[in-house]
Amino acid sequence: MPATPLLELRGIDKSFGPVQVLRDVALSVHPGEVTALVGDNGAGKSTLVKCISGIHPTDAGEFLFEGRPVNINSPRDAAGLGIEVVYQDLALCDNLDIVQNMFLGREKRSGIVLDEPTMEQMATETLAGLGVRTVTLRQHVSSLSGGQRQTVAIAKAVLWNSRLVILDEPTAALGLAQTAQVLELVRRLADNGLAVVLISHNMNDVFAISDRIAALYLGQLVAQVRTTDITHSQVVELITAGRSGDLGLRPEAAGDDPGDGGELADSIRGALR
């Protein structure tokens, strides 16, 4: 595994007016690994992703890509580095088929007409490389299941020589079989050498496929550890209280009454059982 992260964030701050959403965030993402980004609602996960993808400018901090400082001031800058995001709404058009969705806005042309054979070949090779065999190229997205739609969205993201794929809750609202299908695909992305950031509230999914877990608490990245070095309970405590034993914030910096966080952590642990 390369010692240098593909993407490294240092000291990222982001505020919206008087509200500071991200505070001194440091995150590293390695190729060939799935990094799970976890945190409660409002912890700053979506804002952090939008900063990485160039939608929101940062107030402070720096981005390093393969060890080199880079500027990400727009989605075009992010795409130029090979950063693709699959948002929860998937951004697919129901009235178009799979090939048309995968090339939407980036169509290949031969003169003044669309180069359909090239697009079909590229789509076929991408889906085959991901081990996807449950769809046909000219199926309309409206006819696909939730898991198949997620598969198409992921294939669309990796079609363009992407290096880092960020997935926002890819298994939300999916059944067990479809969830297993999508998680297998996510794991295959990392096994093919891509860096993957997985945003999920499902701790079972996180522990099933991630190599590292990064926990956000009230806009601060309080821990980033290997998945094998942490337990479900510790992750829940980091999410709800900002610390767990020696991990996370110091007691005086963890914020609210520890009893409140402990009760919330206990209730979440009970729901996970």
CATH code, domain with 65: 3.40.50.300
67: how many CB neighbours lie within 10 A of its CB? Answer: 11
| 43 is a domain residue | yes
Residues 84 and 78: their CA atoms lie apart, in Å, by 7
Tokens of 23: 């505070």
Domain that holds residue 55: 7-91+163-230
Percent of the chain past pLDDT 90, that is, above it, reads: 64
| 237 is a domain residue | no
DSSP annotation of 30: -
* Structure confidence by residue, pLDDT tens digits, 88-129: 877 889 999 999 999 988 899 998 899 999 999 999 998 888
Indicate if the pLDDT at residue 189 is higher than 70: yes
268 pLDDT band, cuts 50/70/90, is very low
- Backbone φ, ψ for residue 19 (5° rounding): -95, 115
Residues 237 and 251: their CA atoms lie apart, in Å, by 13
More confident residue, 127 or 217: 217
| 260 is a domain residue | no
| 252 is a domain residue | no
Indicate if the pLDDT at residue 272 is higher than 70: no
pLDDT at 259: 44
More confident residue, 258 or 71: 71
59: how many CB neighbours lie within 10 A of its CB? Answer: 14
* Structure confidence by residue, pLDDT tens digits, 49-82: 999 999 999 999 999 999 999 999 999 999 999 9
| 142 is a domain residue | no
* Residue for token pair 């409140």: 260
87 pLDDT band, cuts 50/70/90, is confident
* Structure confidence by residue, pLDDT tens digits, 221-249: 999 999 999 999 999 999 999 999 888 88
| 130 is a domain residue | no
**DSSP per residue, 39-95:** E-TTSSHHHHHHHHTTSS--SEEEEEETTEEE---SHHHHHHHTEEEE-TTTT--TT
Q: What is the mean pLDDT of residues 127-152?
A: 87
| 24 is a domain residue | yes
Q: Label residue 121 left, alpha or beta by phi (over 0 means left) and psi (-120 to 50 means alpha).
A: alpha
Query: 88: closest CA among 172, 165, 146, 158?
Result: 172
Q: How many domains does the chain contain in total?
A: 1
| 28 is a domain residue | yes
More confident residue, 146 or 31: 31
**The model scores a pTM over 0.75:** yes
Tokens of 198: 């997985």
